[in-house]
Chains A and B, each alone.
Chain A
C-alpha cells in the first residue's frame, strides 16, 4: 500500500485583494523507504505541500480540494487534536535552519526525552536510553557526554543531526525534510544527505525532500516531482526525469544548472514562461569611458592582509580577546580579470571583500590600488569601485525610489547632475532590462532577480573600474542566477571591468573566474588559474572541496551555446 498518498491537492491563501492559489491540483505519493524529491523555484508551492501534509498551513491558507492519506486513512480533514497526535508521531519534519528549530534554553537530552515520552509509552530510563541510541545513530560522537549540552554548543552540521534525531524519536512513517541542507556548507551537506538516505533505507521511512537544488535531487532521491507555479509539471524516477526530461520547464531548469565539469561561454537560461528580458550591454559600452587594461599588470596588490574581530571586550587592552577572521593573506588582482574567492562560511572571504571596499579597516598588511594605498585615496578611489551584494532584499533601501537609489552614487561623487543624471539613470534602467518607468517604483515591487538588476544598475552608475560581487546569486533561483551571471560576464567583457567574485558555489566559480583563491579559516589555501585548480588541485582541502561538488552526470547534457 502506498505510504503517503496526495491526490488532487489544492491549497489557497485568500487575501483581501485576491485568492492566491499556492498549490493547484497536485498529486504525489511516497512508498516506504523511498526518498521523494520535490523540486521547484521559490514560490512553486513545494513547501506549502509539506506544510499541508503536516497540518501546519499558516493562516489564512487552507486546503480547498483533494485528499492526503497516510496508509490509506485520510488525514486532510482531521481536526486539530487528531492532527497534533499524528504530527511528530507518524509524520515528522526536518526544518531548514537548525539554529531556530531547536530550543536554545533546553539541553539536547531534555528536548529528546520530552518528545519521546510524549509520543511513546516509556519510562524515563528507557526514554534516556533511546535518546542516546538515536544520537549514536545520527553519528554524534560521544553521545553520553554531548546529550547534556545545549544546542549552541553544537556546530551547524551536528545541530542538524540532532534535529534529525528529534524527528526520529517516535519512529515516524513519513519525514518531511524542507530544504534540510540549504543553511549548511557543502562538506556538511553531503554528510547530512547520506544520513537521510541511510535512515530511509534502514527504517523504511518515506521521505519527502523539498529542495531547489538539482544537485541534491540527482544525488539523493529515488523519485522526483517538479513543480512550477503551484502545479506539478513532471513526476517520475529521478534518473528518468533528470536524464530525459519530458516537460519544457524541467528541460530548461536542468539546462540552467551550472556544470562543474565543462567551461561554457554563457550560462544556458530557463526560457520557460517567457521571462527572459534583454540586457543590452553593447549599447552601454558605446558611451563608456573604458579603462585601458593591461592584463599583465596588477590592479590590486594585497600583502599580509589581516583582520581581527573583538570577541571579548575589556578596558584593559591585554585582556581583550580577538578572533582572527583573515590571517596574513597576500595576492594580486590583475587588470581586467575575474578573480574568484571560494570558501565555506567563516573562511573570511567576505571580510576580505569588505576590507578592499573600505567598509572594514584592516588590522595589518596593505591594499594597494594602482600602486597606492587605498586608505590614502578617499573619494577618488571609492568612485572607481562598486559592489553587488548578496541579498537583493536588503541591499536596496525600501524607502527610496529606484531612480533615487541608482542616482545616489553618481550624485554623491558629483559626476552627473540634473538632466544628465536623470538620463543616465533612465539609460541604465533600460540597459538592465527593466525600462525607465521602473525608476518611479519602490524596490519591494520587484522580484529578487529584478532587484539584483537594480543593484547592478546602481553599481554601474559611476562607471567603475572594479566590481566586487559578494555571492551575487546565492539568494536567487537557478533560472535567475543564470541571467544575472550572464549579465556580469558581459559587463566584464564589454566594459573592461576587473571583478572580484566571491562564492561558495564551485560550479559557478568555474564558469565565472579566471583565477581562483581557496580560503579556509581566514587563511589562503591555494591560488591557481581556474582550469588548473579544477583539473589538478594541489592541496588536500581543495581536493576535498572539489570531491563534494554535486555529481550531475545523471543530468541531461546541457545544450552547447
Chain B
C-alpha cells in the first residue's frame, strides 16, 4: 500500500498526471488494448465462424441493419458479410500480439548483445557492433520479407497459415534489435566505470552476474522508452507486411490484412471496409508513440 503511494507520488507519475497528451494517449491505448483482449466478449459476431456469416449481408453500410436478425452493423460489413467492428477487434488482437512479441524478441536479443558488447569490450564488442551496423544497412521491411520468404520455403503448405504469425514476429524482432543493442551498450559503458561494478568484481562475482544483477537494472530506463516507440513501429511494420500480402493470412486477419482487403473496395464506394481499420491502426500507433515520447521526456532529468 505504501509502495503504491510512493509510486503514485513519484516524479514520473506526477508528470504523467499533469500531461494531457500522456493521459489522452494512455486512455486510447487502454481502450484499444481492452477491446482486443476481450474481443470474444465484446464483438457482436465471430468473424471466423462461417456459420454466422451470410453473403446476403455483404456490403452493408455502417449503421444499417442485418437483413435477417435486424441487428445493427455499426461499422458496416465487408464483401462476405463480416461485421467490420468485430473484425477490427479480432484484427487488433493479432496486431498487438505480433507487436508485443516482436518487441520482446528484439529487446531480448538487443539487450543481451548490448550488455555483452559494452561489458566485455575488445573483439566481442567489435564483432557484435559491426553485425549491428550491417543489419542497419538493410531496411527493416526488406529483412522481414527475406526471412518471411525463406521461412515460407521451409514450411509445409498445410502449416503455412499457422506459421505466418510466428514468422512475422521473428522477422520484425530480428530487424528491431539493433537500436536496443546500441543504447544498452552505450549505457553499459557508462555504468561499467562506476565503482559499484568494481565492488562487485572485487568480491569475485562473475561477469554474467554483474551484467544481470548490477548493470541491467541501471540501463533499463532508456530501454523502456525505446521499447514503447518500437511497439508502435512493430505494429506498423506488421501492418505493412500484411498489407503487402506477406504477413497475417486472410483467415487470421490483422489490421494490415483488413486494410489490404478494404483497399480493393475503396473505389467502388464501400469506403468503410478500409476506413475503420485504418483509423484504428492510426489511433493505436499514434498514441503508443506519444506515450513513448512522453516517457522519454519524463525519464530524462535534463528536460525536467
B199 and A395 contact, CB distance less than 8 A: yes
A399 and B14 contact, CB distance less than 8 A: no
A412 and B204 contact, CB distance less than 8 A: yes
Closest to A17 in B: B9
Query: Which residues from A are CB-within-8-Å of B14?
Result: 16
Closest to B203 in A: A409
Q: A397-B218, A398-B218 are in contact. Are A412 and B205 (CB under 8 A)?
A: yes
Closest to A443 in B: B196
CB distance from A438 to the nearest CB of B (A): 17
Query: Which residues from A are CB-within-8-Å of B195?
Result: 389-391, 394-395
Q: Is A458 an interface residue (CB 8 A)?
A: yes
CB distance from A361 to the nearest CB of B (A): 12
Q: Mark B182-222, 1 if CB is under 8 A from A, else 0.
A: 00000000000011101111111100000000100110000
A394 and B203 contact, CB distance less than 8 A: no
B202 and A358 contact, CB distance less than 8 A: yes
Query: Which residues from A are CB-within-8-Å of B198?
Result: 354, 359, 387, 389, 395
Query: Which residues from B are CB-within-8-Å of A358?
Result: 201-202
A394 and B196 contact, CB distance less than 8 A: yes
Q: Chain A contact residues (Cβ within 8 angstroms of B): what range?
A: 20 to 34
B202 and A387 contact, CB distance less than 8 A: yes
Q: Is A378 an interface residue (CB 8 A)?
A: yes
A interface: dominant SS: loop
Specify which of B194, B202, B214, B218 is in contact with A357 (CB 8 Å cutoff): B202
Query: Which residues from B are CB-within-8-Å of A400?
Result: 214, 217
Query: Which residues from A are CB-within-8-Å of B214?
Result: 397, 400
A458 and B199 contact, CB distance less than 8 A: yes
Q: Is A413 an interface residue (CB 8 A)?
A: yes
CB distance from B190 to the nearest CB of A (A): 10
A399 and B203 contact, CB distance less than 8 A: no
Query: Which residues from A are CB-within-8-Å of B204?
Result: 378-379, 382, 412-413
CA distance A396 to B200 in the complex (A): 10
Closest to A398 in B: B218
A387 and B199 contact, CB distance less than 8 A: yes
CA distance A180 to B162 in the complex (A): 69
Q: Is A386 an interface residue (CB 8 A)?
A: yes
Q: A16-B14, A399-B217, A399-B218 are in contact. Are A394 and B202 (CB under 8 A)?
A: no
Q: A394-B194, A394-B196 are in contact. Are A382 and B203 (CB under 8 A)?
A: yes
Query: Which residues from A are CB-within-8-Å of B200?
Result: 397, 408
A386, A399, A462: residue with the most chain B Cβ atoms closer than 10 Å: A399
CA distance A390 to B198 in the complex (A): 12
CA distance A391 to B194 in the complex (A): 9
CB distance from B200 to the nearest CB of A (A): 7
Query: Which residues from A are CB-within-8-Å of B202?
Result: 357-359, 382, 385-387
A387, A391, A395, A397: residue with the most chain B Cβ atoms closer than 10 Å: A397
CA distance A396 to B199 in the complex (A): 8
Query: Which residues from A are CB-within-8-Å of B203?
Result: 382-383, 386, 408-409, 412-413, 462
CB distance from B119 to the nearest CB of A (A): 14
Query: Which residues from B are CB-within-8-Å of A16?
Result: 14
CA distance A400 to B214 in the complex (A): 8
Q: Mark A368-396, 1 if CB is under 8 A from B, else 0.
A: 00000000001100110111011100111
Specify which of A378, A383, A386, A396 is in contact with B196 (CB 8 Å cutoff): A396
CB distance from B93 to the nearest CB of A (A): 35
CA distance A395 to B199 in the complex (A): 7
CA distance A409 to B198 in the complex (A): 12
Query: Which residues from A are CB-within-8-Å of B205?
Result: 408, 412
CA distance A383 to B217 in the complex (A): 26
Closest to B11 in A: A16
Query: Which residues from B are CB-within-8-Å of A354?
Result: 198
CB-CB contacts below 8 Å: A442-488 with B? 458, 462
Query: Which residues from A are CB-within-8-Å of B199?
Result: 387, 389, 395, 458
Query: Which residues from B are CB-within-8-Å of A399?
Result: 217-218
CA distance A378 to B206 in the complex (A): 12
Q: Mark B270-299, 1 if CB is under 8 A from A, else 0.
A: 000000000000000000000000000000
CA distance A391 to B199 in the complex (A): 12
Q: Mark A348-367, 1 if CB is under 8 A from B, else 0.
A: 00000010011100000000
Closest to B122 in A: A313
CA distance A383 to B205 in the complex (A): 11
5 contacts between A and B (CB under 8 A): A378-B204, A387-B202, A395-B199, A398-B218, A413-B204
User: Which B residues have a C-beta under 8 Å from some C-beta of A?
Assistant: 14, 194-196, 198-205, 214, 217-218
Q: List 14 additional A-B contacts (Cβ < 8 Å) besides A395-B199, A398-B196, A398-B218.
A: A358-B202, A359-B201, A379-B204, A386-B203, A389-B195, A389-B198, A390-B195, A397-B200, A397-B217, A397-B218, A408-B203, A408-B205, A409-B203, A458-B199
Closest 7 CB pairs of A and B: A395-B195, A399-B217, A389-B195, A394-B194, A382-B204, A409-B203, A397-B196
